[in-house]
Chains A and B, each alone.
Chain A
Amino acid sequence: DTAVSQTPKYLVTQMGNDKSIKCEQNLGHDTMYWYKQDSKKFLKIMFSYNNKELIINETVPNRFSPKSPDKAHLNLHINSLELGDSAVYFCASSHLAGLNTGELFFGEGSRLTVL
């Protein structure tokens, strides 16, 4: 059983399109995250939700909209895709304490390529 699963694993699309990445965790965690990993492997937090409520929203263009229908799911929708959005997007989860303890469980990533 995959603990944190993301779909799709690969996504190739044209500039200007809208796309979504889905994430589900079966660990019973109440906090979920989206991280972006750029071409130089640098990882940066984008969003964090706790029990469907947004708790961290870093400086991210408002073309990116996270949605958490329940505490086991956190989806990422991206409007009007740009070349610079090409990256690997990682979903992660933790107990709320994980926000302080740093013990996150990551999915395998979704590689987005914008042409």
Chain B
Amino acid sequence: AQSVTQPDIHITVSEGASLELRCNYSYGATPYLFWYVQSPGQGLQLLLKYFSGDTLVQGIKGFEAEFKRSQSSFNLRKPSVHWSDAAEYFCAVVPYSGNTPLVFGKGTRLSVIA
């Protein structure tokens, strides 16, 4: 079945440490890929997106993500996490078929400790 999978429900990292959040998708063709962030009590904000081209994409707040076609993955990374990065992170796709709504993974909650 077509899906977006975020295998980690909850991750805790120390402030200043590096971060990688995993996302895998299973669609026949490469969909459009996104990462959204939801801070506590807030709506979702787009961090970055991948449509085509360079497989390493830069986003806001110092985040980047790398598309790996061979692994059907689009992992989110940040070299040095700040306490304000504590939030829920959602990977999402728009299937290539188009005119279909954004489909979200189940999210990964990031906790940051001092």
Contact = CB atoms under 8 A, between A and B. Distances in A.
Interface of A: 4, 33, 40-45, 48, 55-56, 58, 90, 92, 99-109
Interface residues of B, number: 26
Q: Which of A44, A92, A100, A109 has the most CB of B within 10 A?
A: A100
Interface in B48-77: 49, 51
Contacts of B51: 101
The 3 lowest CB-CB distance pairs between A and B, nearest first, are A106-B43, A45-B101, A102-B94
B25 interface: no
B42 A108 contact: yes
B28 interface: no
B101 A99 contact: yes
Q: Would you call the interface of chain B mostly helix, strand, loop, or mixed?
A: strand
A100 B94 contact: yes
A101 B90 contact: no
A44 to B, nearest CB: 8
B113 interface: no
A43 B90 contact: yes
A1 B49 CA distance: 25
A41 B88 contact: yes
A46 to B, nearest CB: 10
A100 B104 contact: no
Given A41-B106, A41-B107, A43-B90, A99 B99 contact: yes
A105 B39 CA distance: 14
Given A100-B32, A102-B94, A45 B102 contact: yes
Contacts of B93: 102
Interface in B31-46: 32, 34, 38, 41-46
Contacts of A44: 104
A90 to B, nearest CB: 6
B101 A33 contact: yes
Contact of B46 (A41, A48, A104): A104
Given A100-B98, A102-B34, A102-B49, A90 B92 contact: no
B68 to A, nearest CB: 19
